[in-house]
Structure 1
């Protein structure tokens, strides 16, 4: 892995600033008892800061893997850093004003800030897409590393894109009507109003679906899949099969498929108005299938090449 000194500096600096912001927000959680939309007012900047630290730091590292389009990658990374900064400035500014940042149409100024934040999100997504395209074109020698990075950034893009579903008027808001004059348009929750009973720390709804679940899990594939590969490499000295780069590649592909399936399942669950902690029978059945298929794929990936060749030959029709 390259030295961190060669990583994309604007993204690294932004990540460091988010560490500071997380500390500030944590203090705010302790000393400021204001509540917005059913949550402590400093909870949103705290969670966003904690999420942005690994997200932008991982992108800063990934940009060192580019073998072509490095200048384009640098500008794309800088755009992502500036977009993230803009979003955090608006979120924190609204906290200072004692107002909610997301879905806020209460006043023209609040609506303008929310619209500006929506623009920063689109820019962030587009910048990440540009980096993903460059990574798909990069010539990374180790194929397992290449696909851990590529799968991670592609699933992260899908997870980030789920944020769009939250910006649309919810079914409850449409039923209430008067969307042109509504103070709040859009919601995290499905089937229940935002601000109801929720899980500790995450704030995810315990009474309805919550689109933040697949949004969060999907975005952090960016870290999870490269970390999975690093775990395989670390275990290789002890497990002989993992020393084969082809085995590591197959395991990365199997795990990437499983991760994508989990994000899809969580999205399906949320859109049906089901909370993460109270899945129905269909959700549990689908959830059980994912580890079963993944385990079968992992077993097949770990089989020696000779065993797979013999197994394939045994199923061929005899030649007369």
Structure 2
């Protein structure tokens, strides 16, 4: 007769063990993006060219850092797969190729040609680059969607980590789609199209002003009006933020016994994911109203306070219930 052993509910949880080999194409692309980051930093220091009011190297720098982190995270997630690993490998490769192509287009259009990248339909070449970028992004999105569906039926790590990965992939897919909000004709672009007889520019990061105005250091997010890049950025990087909640809870469980069972940690992962989604909604709603992130109005502050209060309240309720359960299940000595 065989016997099975299960982990004690109060056992100290551990971080995920050594993953299987990381996805090589994604890893190589992330190394290339790290090198690109160093080149872009050098360019920002020694190249004084400006595009739309910002240093010309800032866009390649931001994208290299952001996409590099994204690729490393996805490579780690794919290494945890236990089912349909070959399909996951191919989807990761699609993402790697798409990201590499996107970075080449960004550097070529912005740094080499000195032309506006997004929303630029001024010449046939500009339009071609714009359309290739859009197609590549949707291919990457579709590949990540396949990985997300796969991991719905896979079981990497404990329950809290599994759900953090699933929720992260779902949120990042939504965050990527938020970029579609930027594709709308601004009043200035409408007048430009009427004068030129065709649409030369289509879309804008900003709401309430034209792109190219005053912005925050490095990110360039508008300090004068709404900026749709903020919600898009937060949504894309849910891929890192939500799993970090699960990993952080594992570390805290070493000190606080109440977090050792899977149940409370999983519930807190759901609270964290819901809170993060609420934050994405908040900054996107603020941007759509033409309000700068650095100048929140009364409605935004009220909504922000409600979001923060709900996050704290739900977290405390989870901890209170976990504590009550542990007291009931612990025998008197």
TM-score by length of 1: 0.92
Match of 1:24 in 2: 39
User: Bigger CA drift: 53-62 or 170-179?
Assistant: 170-179
CA contact (8 A) 2:20 2:80 kept: no
**What SS class does the counterpart of residue 238 from structure 1 fall into?**
coil
Spell out, residue by residue over 1:34-71, the C-alpha distance to the aligned partner (whole angstroms, 9 max, x if none). 11111111110000000011111110111122222211
Structure 1 position 42 matched with structure 2 position 57: yes
Taking the aligned partners of 1:28 and 1:73, their CA distance within structure 2 comes to: 36
> Structure 1 unaligned runs (5+)?
312-320
Q: 1:143 to 1:104 in 2, by over 3 A?
A: same
User: Bigger CA drift: 207-216 or 5-14?
Assistant: 5-14
Match of 1:292 in 2: 309
CA contact (8 A) 1:207 1:275 kept: yes
Taking the aligned partners of 1:157 and 1:217, their CA distance within structure 2 comes to: 11
Match of 1:85 in 2: 100
Taking the aligned partners of 1:136 and 1:154, their CA distance within structure 2 comes to: 10
Superposition deviation, residue 185 in structure 1? 1.4
Match of 1:317 in 2: none
Matches within 5 A, 1:5-154: 6-94=21-109, 95-154=111-170
Spell out, residue by residue over 1:136-189, the C-alpha distance to the aligned partner (whole angstroms, 9 max, x if none). 121235110011111111111111111112233235423554386243211111
Superposition deviation, residue 309 in structure 1? 11
Match of 1:204 in 2: 221
Taking the aligned partners of 1:304 and 1:273, their CA distance within structure 2 comes to: 41
Match of 2:174 in 1: 158
TM-score by length of 2: 0.89
Superposition deviation, residue 110 in structure 1? 1.1
> Structure 2 unaligned runs (5+)?
1-15, 329-333
Give RMSD over aligned pairs.
2.0
**What SS class does the counterpart of residue 156 from structure 2 fall into?**
coil
Higher relative contact order (CA 8 A, sep 6+): 2
CA contact (8 A) 1:14 1:85 kept: yes
Q: 1:271 to 1:45 in 2, by over 3 A?
A: same
Match of 1:192 in 2: 209
Q: 1:128 to 1:180 in 2, by over 3 A?
A: farther
Taking the aligned partners of 2:100 and 2:187, their CA distance within structure 1 comes to: 32
